[in-house]
């Protein structure tokens, strides 16, 4: 019985990253609607860079190319949509090269890399150009938002969000400054529905992640309002890359466990790390660093969980058998008598 | 190499110190200055100079005078020697107005407690002549210096856009490389290139490297607990009696067995023995079963034989080992053949599966016994 990944076992289905690419179409369309064709150009360049990096890396490392599973395409597209619309294209391409050539290929390739390549590439960009990556362009729709004042940025400056600061409809339609393809919540909810139909198990990761973030948002609100907790819940979940990461990064089959409950735990663990980094981190958006942290810390934690569960299961089985034996002995006793 | 000490020549010492056993890229010691401090060429030059001088002084001193002293005392002598050199140097450079001292920060005085110096002195100098120790110090110094300067140049060029303070690019292409994270990335790639260089051009020395790359199956983390299990090649080629063996397939073993053409189509048998306990570290099976109460498992006799040392044999005879080191077909270029039959190979085996098999069998046996009773 060989260990198989979800990617390899689902031979009859499309590759996982192919589904993810399909899901990314709608965010890309919304990004084009709000920011114009420059976003699509960045997406195209990043996807091309991903494919070229994978081909070159596989050639130099003498390992088989995994172009058929669309993972390099997905890496490029996802990273481009996580960036601001006016982010330099060459820098975005550098992030993709780092994700593929320094994280994915050396650490095992598609389905085996212990760290999410997209999260690693985005973290690399955060460290290299922190002033550019969180400086979002204003949307020219008459809403009057200031350049760079994203929801996550406002939340990071505590109590800067007050009643009537933000229109809820704008938040749901993505009409606020933010990452090019990760701001429109309605579109992301549509992607979640697609994920629910195509990869139901992966949605459990997202549910765990979102639940943990929601819990943190309710318990420790960062808004100044008369009904702070619900407003905090809405703002935290809709800001930055949280929803996008919940759908596209936390569901990575290479690092997520198999059983549904374990998937939920993994998602919750990542969500807790994400919110802690949001609250105490240097940057306004710490979801990618949180994912890398959870990628590193989850395996030993998961091993402990498995040990505990197998121990409990064994106890139950032995107890059940002892009980059955005692019952059968009791039944035989009158017969013998 | 068993006869390496006898055939040690100055040229070999030089090759080993600079490339084959490069302290930073191969032995992975002395990383602190390499990763944290050498973010520019000038700092790297200063650290390289200090390291080389310290190595020469300490190794010659250790080889000439410190051999009669106990090892715990010698290490203190190395540190004091380093301080005697570094403190005046820092004072002179500071008085002369060199800003490189402040750039190096706390890492320059920390060079007095350099692990490379202590290791080379203890591993090499105290056992060899002064001449060879001097050669080793120079070689190791060149090895460390080349890595520090190469890393410093790359990081300064890409992180600041300059080389030795002179502007090359208008803006920094990759500013993150000036951080320690960038140091790790650069050193990782340099180590990979050095490994490739050695395996290509100096393949005869690849066995002398402190570690060998094992080609193991890539596994998903967290799915199963990997526990090293000792696997011995069997002394005879005869198959084990059926009563004493168990057929088992394990995720860690199956791919290697499948990669060996001589094993195709045959199941692999394992004989399970009691695990030899490692000093100071309990295996998962020990922890797991010790944690259970004795009463609970008093009747489960089969549980005593759980998971551990496994002997492998192929159906129909023919000796082989399931390890990764001794299978020449899997690692033809880097792996040396087994020297003797007693050599043990450590590979990861899924103990969960072993235990699950044993538990299931014990439960089945027990239920059958209950029915019979």
- ipTM beyond 0.85? no
Strands across the sheet containing B309-314: B246-247, B268-273, B309-314, B226-232, B345-350
* Optimal mutation site among A6, A128, A256, interface B, most CBs of chain B within 10 A: A128
Residue of chain B whose alpha carbon sits nearest to that of A113: B220
pLDDT at B363: 64
Q: CB neighbours of B199 closer than 8 A, spacing ≥ 6?
A: B206, B333, B334
- Cβ of B300 within 8 Å of Cβ of A129? The answer is no
First to last CA, chain B: 61
Cβ contacts of A258 on chain B, cutoff 8 Å: 223
Task: Give the pLDDT means over successive 10-residue stretches in chain B (373 positions).
Answer: 60 87 88 86 90 92 89 90 89 82 82 88 89 92 94 91 85 84 90 87 70 46 40 42 38 40 40 41 42 40 37 34 36 37 41 60 62 43
Give DSSP secondary structure letters for A274-288.
Answer: HHHHHHHSSSS--HH
- Cβ of A307 within 8 Å of Cβ of B225? The answer is yes
Residue of chain B whose alpha carbon sits nearest to that of A325: B370
- Cβ of A2 within 8 Å of Cβ of B359? The answer is no
Smallest Cβ distance to A3: which of B251, B355, B363? B251
pLDDT at B318: 33
Cβ contacts of B224 on chain A, cutoff 8 Å: 3
Q: Which residue has the higher pLDDT, A1 or A87?
A: A87
At A54, which helix (H) or strand (E)? helix A37-61
For chain B, list residues whose CB is within 8 angstroms of any CB belonging to chain A: 173-176, 179, 181, 185, 188-189, 192, 217-225, 249-251, 254-255, 284, 288, 291-292, 296-297, 300, 352-353, 355, 359, 363, 366-367, 370
- Cβ of B225 within 8 Å of Cβ of A109? The answer is no
Q: How far A3 CA sits from the closest chain B CA (Å)?
A: 6
Q: Which of A178, A276, A203 is nearest to A20 (CA)?
A: A203
pLDDT at B355: 57
- Cβ of B219 within 8 Å of Cβ of A3? The answer is yes
* Optimal mutation site among B221, B356, B365, interface A, most CBs of chain A within 10 A: B221
Smallest Cβ distance to A299: which of B217, B221, B284? B221
A33 to chain B, any CB pair closer than 8 A? The answer is: no
- Cβ of A317 within 8 Å of Cβ of B363? The answer is yes
- Cβ of A254 within 8 Å of Cβ of B297? The answer is no
A303 to chain B, any CB pair closer than 8 A? The answer is: yes
Residue of chain A whose alpha carbon sits nearest to that of B186: A102
Kindly give the interhelix angle for B71-96 and B115-123, rounded to the nearest 10 degrees.
Answer: 140
- Number of A to B CB contacts under 8 A, please give it: 78
A130 to chain B, any CB pair closer than 8 A? The answer is: no
pLDDT above 80: residue A278: yes
Q: How far B224 CA sits from the closest chain A CA (Å)?
A: 7
Q: Using one digit for the tens of pLDDT, what is the confidence trace for A29-68?
A: 999 988 888 899 999 999 999 999 998 988 887 776 667 7
Q: How far A207 CA sits from the closest chain B CA (Å)?
A: 20
Q: Which of A170, A151, A301 is nearest to A217 (CA)?
A: A151
Q: Give me the domains of chain A, ranges plus CATH numbers.
A: 13-312 (1.10.3430)
The arithmetic mean of pLDDT across residues A287-296, rounded, is: 92
Q: How far B342 CA sits from the closest chain A CA (Å)?
A: 29
Domain residue spans of chain B: 10-208, 226-372
Radius of gyration for chain A, computed over Cα atoms and rounded to the nearest angstrom? 23
Cβ contacts of B220 on chain A, cutoff 8 Å: 3, 5, 111-112, 254-255
pLDDT at B206: 66
Q: How far A287 CA sits from the closest chain B CA (Å)?
A: 18
pTM of the model: 0.69
Smallest Cβ distance to A128: which of B174, B219, B250? B174
Task: Give the pLDDT band (50/70/90) at residue A164.
Answer: low
Percent of chain A residues topping a pLDDT of 90: 34
pLDDT at B359: 65
- Cβ of B222 within 8 Å of Cβ of A106? The answer is no
Cβ contacts of B293 on chain A, cutoff 8 Å: none
pLDDT above 50: residue A153: yes
A305 to chain B, any CB pair closer than 8 A? The answer is: no
What whole-number distance in Å separates Cα of residue A248 and Cα of residue A76?
A: 13
The arithmetic mean of pLDDT across residues A310-329, rounded, is: 85
CA distances from B356 to A324, B246, B352, B353 (A): 22, 13, 6, 5
Q: How far B181 CA sits from the closest chain A CA (Å)?
A: 9
- Cβ of A314 within 8 Å of Cβ of B359? The answer is yes
pLDDT at B140: 93
Q: How far B159 CA sits from the closest chain A CA (Å)?
A: 9
Cβ contacts of B288 on chain A, cutoff 8 Å: 307, 310-311
Task: Give the pLDDT band (50/70/90) at residue A146.
Answer: low
Which structure tokens are listed for A21? 């690419």
Percent of chain A residues topping a pLDDT of 70: 89
- Cβ of A303 within 8 Å of Cβ of B249? The answer is no
pLDDT at A324: 85
The arithmetic mean of pLDDT across residues A76-104, rounded, is: 91
pLDDT at A125: 92
Residue with tokens 């088989």: A64
What whole-number distance in Å separates Cα of residue B277 and Cα of residue B283?
A: 7
């Amino acid at each position: 019985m060989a260990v198989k990944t979800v990617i390899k076992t689902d031979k009859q289905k499309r590759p996982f990253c192919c589904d993810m690419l399909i899901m990314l179409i709608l965010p890309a369309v919304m990004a084009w609607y709000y920011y114009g064709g420059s976003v699509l150009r960045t997406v195209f360049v990043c996807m091309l860079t991903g494919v070229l990096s994978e081909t070159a890396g596989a050639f130099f490392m003498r390992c088989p190319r995994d172009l058929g599973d669309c993972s390099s395409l997905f890496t490029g597209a996802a990273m481009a949509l996580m960036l601001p619309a006016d982010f330099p294209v060459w820098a975005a391409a550098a992030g993709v090269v780092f994700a593929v050539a320094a994280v994915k290929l050396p650490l095992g390739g598609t389905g085996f890399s212990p760290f999410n390549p997209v999260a690693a590439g985005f973290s690399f960009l955060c460290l290299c150009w922190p002033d550019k990556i969180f400086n979002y362009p204003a949307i020219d729709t008459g809403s009057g938002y200031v350049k760079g004042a994203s929801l996550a940025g406002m939340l990071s400056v505590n109590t800067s969000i007050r009643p009537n600061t933000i229109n809820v409809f704008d938040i749901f339609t993505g009409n606020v400054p933010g990452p090019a393809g990760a701001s429109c919540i309605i579109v992301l909810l549509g992607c979640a529905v697609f994920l629910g139909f195509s990869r139901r198990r992966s949605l459990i990761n997202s549910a765990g992640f979102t639940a943990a973030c929601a819990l943190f948002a309710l318990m420790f609100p960062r808004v100044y309002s008369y009904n702070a907790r619900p407003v905090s819940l809405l703002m935290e979940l809709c800001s930055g890359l949280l929803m996008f990461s919940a759908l596209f990064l936390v569901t990575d089959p290479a690092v997520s466990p198999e059983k549904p409950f374990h998937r939920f735990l993994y998602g919750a663990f990542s969500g807790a790390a994400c919110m802690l980094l949001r609250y105490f981190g240097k940057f306004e958006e710490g979801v990618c660093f949180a994912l890398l942290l959870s990628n590193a810390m989850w395996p030993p934690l998961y091993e402990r969980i498995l040990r505990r569960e197998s121990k409990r299961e064994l106890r139950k089985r032995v107890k059940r058998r002892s009980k059955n034996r005692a019952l059968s002995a009791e039944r035989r006793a009158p017969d013998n008598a | 190499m068993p006869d390496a000490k006898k055939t040690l020549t100055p040229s070999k010492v030089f090759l080993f110190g600079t490339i084959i056993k490069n302290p930073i890229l191969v032995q992975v010691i002395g990383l602190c200055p390499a990763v944290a401090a050498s973010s520019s060429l000038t700092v790297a030059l200063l650290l390289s100079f200090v390291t080389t001088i310290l190595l020469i002084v300490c190794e010659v001193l250790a080889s000439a005078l410190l051999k009669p002293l106990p090892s715990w005392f010698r290490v203190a002598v190395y540190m004091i020697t380093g301080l005697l050199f570094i403190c005046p140097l820092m004072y002179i450079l500071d008085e002369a107005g060199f800003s490189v001292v402040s750039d190096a920060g706390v890492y320059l005085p920390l060079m007095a407690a350099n692990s490379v110096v202590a290791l080379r002195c203890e591993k090499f100098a105290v056992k060899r002549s002064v001449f060879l120790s001097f050669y080793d110090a120079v070689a190791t110094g060149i090895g460390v210096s080349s890595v520090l300067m190469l890393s410093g140049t790359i990081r300064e060029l890409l992180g600041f856009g300059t080389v030795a303070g002179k502007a090359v690019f208008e803006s920094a292409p990759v500013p993150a490389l000036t951080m320690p994270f960038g140091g790790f990335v650069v050193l990782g790639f340099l180590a990979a290139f050095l490994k490739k260089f050695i395996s290509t051009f100096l393949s005869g020395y690849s066995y002398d490297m402190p570690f060998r790359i094992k080609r193991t199956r890539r596994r998903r983390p967290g799915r199963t607990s990997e526990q090293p299990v000792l696997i011995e090649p069997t002394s005879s080629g005869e198959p084990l009696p059926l009563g004493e063996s168990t057929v088992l397939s394990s995720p860690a073993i199956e791919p290697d067995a499948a990669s060996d053409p001589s094993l195709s189509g045959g199941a692999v048998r394992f004989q399970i023995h009691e695990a030899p306990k490692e000093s100071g570290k309990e295996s998962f099976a020990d922890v797991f079963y010790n944690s259970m109460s004795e009463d609970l498992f008093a009747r489960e006799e089969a549980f005593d034989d759980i998971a551990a040392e496994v002997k492998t044999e192929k159906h129909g005879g023919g000796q082989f080992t399931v390890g990764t080191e001794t299978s020449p077909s899997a690692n033809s270029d880097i792996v040396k053949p087994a020297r003797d039959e007693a050599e043990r190979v450590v590979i990861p085996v899924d103990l969960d599966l072993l235990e699950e098999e044993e538990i299931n069998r014990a439960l089945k046996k027990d239920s059958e016994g209950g029915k019979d009773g």
